[in-house]
Structure 1
């Protein structure tokens, strides 16, 4: 481990990091209402001597961008500051139990944001300006909705590498699943609810369509690598009647090598075939969003740095593919190489029991420092 990195690691302050992390979790920042948390982060960075750019996305919504070192940054640390809406506005804030921090956004991804902030504070504290690496920091908005923050950033800046702090339990994800969002609508005929035989029930049609899809080998969990999740279903609410319209949305996460366009074609074929088995079926399907996955490989300097660093930190290095959708897909499509690596576990995100071990947040700050210096 080189002397410069040792100085930076020694400057990483667990007390300061925990304080920052708890304060970030206590700031309510659902998508669209990120200004309070951006004001907090902006002030912390300015206090450390960094010039911070507000990059406007829309009125009163902006990214924060900072850089250090000489020349164009070869790597950006990227964290999204928004969360999904709170399950309970009385209970969204931070609480700590036995070394684990609970709270909305703790894993997705305020733990990663806190670690990135601490990394930058330690770099500023330990290194004079002439020794600082040419790296950037992006705190983006809107990831939990449409990724508008990262999309705005990528219009003006496309760094060679990005490290995105989504929750991977510190696994290094040089590969990323693709994503496809499918919307289905079935139509029926209204009738009084006590006389269903006079109508055609759109909900029953939708259920049969979804069962037909789910029975195909493409979507059987024990046979397929495609992650198939029915996200929501709703019908027309017209009182005591047989519903004449039903909508359903399906999330599909694809292994990196799978082509979303090919899956879209397969789904259209399956839906067309369902008409042979479902009497009177009238159904349409649309694909509002598709994003390809990627595999960067591990023959690069960031992977080499991690292979050296993790044993020194006493951490097992796990290489994996990130299974969810993230801004990483946008960065890759723009020509960047995004490594997904952060504290916390994906399985607890978007749940009332979201949590992350503080020890992982601390190790993430050390890992981010090493990657910046690499």
Structure 2
């Protein structure tokens, strides 16, 4: 096994990997508009000799699926090709400085996708009968509602997936849950020189948010639960008192925390705001939630990681993935997800998004080693 792994690692080509990543970064692929990058990746995979299957999500949107081995895949490498929307493409343009690659999606998660593709290129050098039973899945829509992964899961539930979200190569067998909340306050519009005749929806919203933030759940001194006001906007209609204000809140929940418990606590706290905010007209909605999870690290994948990281001279850290990802969807479907990829969440979604190219190369070697290890494990597939 060691000789095979070393041969595969030798077949990983940093120059080819660098080319793949930089060309991916040049293609703008926000959620909902992923066709250009999928066409590029499909062509690149076909030229390498792979049979690439399209998995239609909706018109002009599809996943790409590649498998190898003589049995159904026991593990999939999963990457999402979409990014958040760029407010200024020039600010997000790709470039490289001293081994650090910048650009929209460099960490989240085109770096991980490029590493997975390179791992598959290297594995393709094995004789057909020696290729492990693994798959490569490049999905759309992760940054929105996860419709790409949801589509895949309607037809297939492998035992394991490795998702290349940015973790700085930490191995995340645990995952935070997520709750997205929307608030709307309404007021009465008047000329801004006569605010006493109107009702300011922004002031109402600020009071509600301050009251909500006083709940013990959202105490930042004990930040187990991550509470972030993501957006705040009001009506724009000239020199007037605003009659509408909207806020969006992201909550990332520790693995054992039930989103329903947090939701009830928020509803109770907001209801209490009526007592001290005059004429409060407000609605609250919960648009998305997912339960976190914690997997046992006593498994063959963790054992292989320990050996692989030691061989690469890398420190192995087990962690919980703090953001939202398709990992929650896979776990709910009965699949065991490992979140592991190059880059970090710190700069993701910003104009300073970046990843170390050395981490991308290391990720390709880690992914290849995990794929090779599949051939040595006999874990049954979940029931369809």
Report TM bin, short chain. over 0.9
Question: Which stretches in structure 1 are left out of the alignment for 5+ residues?
Answer: none
Query: After superposition, what is the alpha-carbon deviation per residue over 1:66-106, rounded to whole angstroms, capped at 9, x for unaligned?
Result: 10001111100000011112242234332111111111111
Within-5 A mapping of 1:288-367: 288-367=287-366
Cα deviation for residue 231 of structure 1 reads 0.9
TM-score under structure 1 length normalisation: 0.97
Distance 1:307 1:56 in 2: 37
1:21 matched to 2:21? The reply is yes
Distance 2:47 2:189 in 1: 64
Asked if structure 2 preserves the Cα contact closer than 8 Å seen for 1:302 and 1:371, the reply is yes
Bigger mean CA offset, 159-168 vs 2-11: 2-11
Q: 1:237 to 1:262 in 2, by over 3 A?
A: same
Give the SS at the match of 1:253.
Answer: strand
Asked if structure 2 preserves the Cα contact closer than 8 Å seen for 1:31 and 1:82, the reply is yes
Question: Which stretches in structure 2 are left out of the alignment for 5+ residues?
Answer: 374-384
Distance 1:272 1:85 in 2: 35
Distance 1:86 1:273 in 2: 38
Distance 1:330 1:361 in 2: 25
Asked if structure 2 preserves the Cα contact closer than 8 Å seen for 1:217 and 1:224, the reply is no
**Structure 1 residue runs of 4+, over 6 Å off?**
none
Cα deviation for residue 328 of structure 1 reads 0.8
Distance 1:32 1:200 in 2: 38
Q: How many residues align?
A: 373
Bigger mean CA offset, 276-285 vs 200-209: 276-285
1:98 matched to 2:95? The reply is no
Asked if structure 2 preserves the Cα contact closer than 8 Å seen for 1:26 and 1:92, the reply is no
Q: Which residue of 2 aligns with 1:204?
A: 203
Bigger mean CA offset, 197-206 vs 165-174: 197-206
Asked if structure 1 preserves the Cα contact closer than 8 Å seen for 2:92 and 2:352, the reply is no
Q: Which residue of 2 aligns with 1:183?
A: 182
Give the SS at the match of 1:257.
Answer: coil
Asked if structure 2 preserves the Cα contact closer than 8 Å seen for 1:27 and 1:93, the reply is no
Within-5 A mapping of 1:1-374: 2-125=2-125, 127-374=126-373
Distance 1:27 1:246 in 2: 35
Task: Compute the RMSD of aligned alpha carbons.
Answer: 1.2
Q: 1:91 to 1:192 in 2, by over 3 A?
A: closer
Distance 2:340 2:334 in 1: 19
TM-score under structure 2 length normalisation: 0.95
Cα deviation for residue 123 of structure 1 reads 0.2
Query: After superposition, what is the alpha-carbon deviation per residue over 1:288-340, rounded to whole angstroms, capped at 9, x for unaligned?
Result: 11101110120111011101111110000000000000111111111111100
Asked if structure 2 preserves the Cα contact closer than 8 Å seen for 1:237 and 1:243, the reply is yes
Distance 1:331 1:184 in 2: 29
Bigger mean CA offset, 205-214 vs 218-227: 218-227
Distance 1:115 1:224 in 2: 33
